[in-house]
Amino acid sequence: MTFHILVSDPLSEEGIQPLKQEEHLKIDVHTGLSHEELLETIEKYDALLVRSQTKVTKDIIERAKNLKAIGRAGVGVDNIDLDAATEHGVIVVNAPDGNTNSAAEHTMAMLMSLARRIPQAYHSLKQHEWNRKAYVGVELKGKTLGVVGFGRIGAEVAYRAKGQRLNVIAYDPYLTEEKAEKMGIQCGTLEEVIQQADFITVHTPLMPATKHLISRDAFNQMKPGVRIINCARGGIIDEDALYEAILEKKVAGAALDVFEEEPIQNYKLVELPEVVATPHLGASTVEAQENVAIDVSRDVIQILNGGAAKNPVNLPSLPAEVMKRIEPYFNLSEKLGTFSAHLAQEPIEEVSIYYSGDLADLDVTPLTRNTVKGILKRHLGDHVNDVNAPYFAEKKGITINEQKTTSTKGFTNLLTVETRTKSGASKVAGTLLNGLGTRIVKVDAYSVDVVPQGHLLLIRHTDQPGAIGRVGSLLAKFDVNIATMQVGRSDVGGDAIMMLTVDRQIDEDVLQKLQEVSDIHQVKPIDL
């Protein structure tokens, strides 16, 4: 099958080479498209690769009927409507690692430039001035660098700062004392970082919680003469408050690579002599541009080939070793979900998924999504996928529960799906047997051993002599071949089930004839 990919922003030629090496991928590079032009052309594409210029809005995603993946060659996805992408089942991937080194190096370059006033001195010299006294700087050695946000880039900056003999204090909601101690830095609260640092660099994402994180109140808590660096996202620092703090001599200077409005419209802040500024160059190295494009290209290939992406934005990302361990259960989880949807006689209100044995120690979120997908596809169709399954479940008012237990009931691993409707609950359990593959091992209270594939027939009946023979004879009369049969019962003469695997889909008239057989209470075809 041929997939069509649109590259709508300038990307490194080396970065998209992985795409060009795949014979089943057709690449179109059309940069500088207007919103209207993109709307007109997007329908035929299966994947879209962008940087920051293309705005992937809701109307574009709605028009893109074939779109399966959006790759952002960079970290931020501000230009992509993630809610719309999730709703329409489009996986968004980015490249959080590709520009880490580049961004950390640029941060250190800005820090050095700010401390030693290098850009100002350079500009003065270009004007044929020789004014050494006007550009006296400060040393880094012995000063304290405050790092706000300790993800990949923040940590890399801290490593480099230690090499410059700076003391480092960092704040991040997920930074532990143990990790900080291991790195030889101090872990502090946001207030402690702001109050103690001589230099403050921010490395958080931009979201409602971090908008204007460095505010007027924050500036009021800082040391006199503090210096500020922002190579992360415009908007983390309140630029009006920074402007006032510099004029009031509270802040000695600032080094800014990002701004609340880009391109800049109001230059009053960058025109201050205390400010060093660059036009969003943190990731602007040859190596970074290649790396981010390569990363998203490889992820897009994985998605189009039916694999798992390394850096999904609107899907939970798992370490490779965890994904490797749970991947064999993907088929089982979806099949159990589909089976459960067939069992439900009324709209499902609640789904509980129980993980036992080996699975109890792993992050099984992708399996839960896969199970929900299997349930919803029964009535909503193939446009339900791992991305939008939780969205559709929420819209349908279905509560999803995920539970883990050490109780294995005799199996090394066991995955159980329970669905509840207004009338009651149904339950199906499955496992993965070494060398034998996936199995359904329990339906409600009945033990079975069924391969979850093909055309199945679930028959509920009373445990009476001849019941099995009557079913077999009737199916033979209508030329329906039985491949396998499993029988389960609660007690002698009580309720029982038959699970049959048949070679073809059974016609409605045959199902009706089966329903009329004595002692049979329910006949349910299940196609997996």
**For 282, which DSSP code?**
T
- The single-letter code of the amino acid at 73 is A
Contact by Cβ (8 Å): 231, 107: yes
Question: 14, 43, 262, 346: which one is catalytic?
Answer: 262
Q: Which two tokens stand for residue 381?
A: 């169709």
The closest alpha carbon to 414, from 402, 432, 437, belongs to 432
Contacts with 11 (C-beta within 8 Å, 6 or more apart), sequence order: 29, 49, 51, 73, 289, 293
- The residue annotated as part of the active site, out of 51, 88, 233, 378, is 233
Is there a catalytic annotation at residue 165? no
- Has 262 been annotated as catalytic? yes
Are 81 and 58 in contact, with CB atoms under 8 Å apart? yes
Side by side, the strands of the sheet bearing 167-171 are: 186-187, 167-171, 144-148, 199-202, 226-230, 251-256, 275-277
Residue with tokens 């602007």: 284
- The rounded distance, in Å, linking the Cα atoms of 144 and 400 is 47
Q: How many CA atoms lie within 13 A of 363 on its CB side?
A: 11
Catalytic residue from among 51, 88, 203, 280? 280
CA distances from 64 to 16, 86, 213, 383 (A): 22, 13, 36, 13
Catalytic site includes residue 280: yes
Neighbours of 412 (CB within 10 A): 13
Compute the distance between CA of residue 379 and CA of residue 396 in angstroms, rounded to an integer: 12
Instruction: Determine contact, residues 391/343, Cβ cutoff 8 Å.
Output: no
- Do 72 and 80 contact (CB within 8 A), yes or no? yes
Q: What is the dihedral of CA 129, 135, 140, 146, to 10 degrees?
A: -110
In the chain, what's the furthest Cα-to-Cα distance?
A: 108
Q: Which residue has the tokens 């007109």?
A: 40
Which among 518, 414, 399 is positioned nearest to 469, based on CA atoms?
Answer: 518
Of residues 97, 92, 98, the one with CA closest to residue 47: 92
Buried b (16+ CB within 10 A) or exposed e, 320-337: eeebebbeebbbbbbbbb
User: CB neighbours of 412 closer than 8 A, spacing ≥ 6?
Assistant: 357, 358, 431
Contact 291, 95 (CB under 8 A): yes
C-alpha 445/C-alpha 442 separation (Å) is 7
> Where in the sequence numbering do the catalytic residues fall?
233, 262, 280
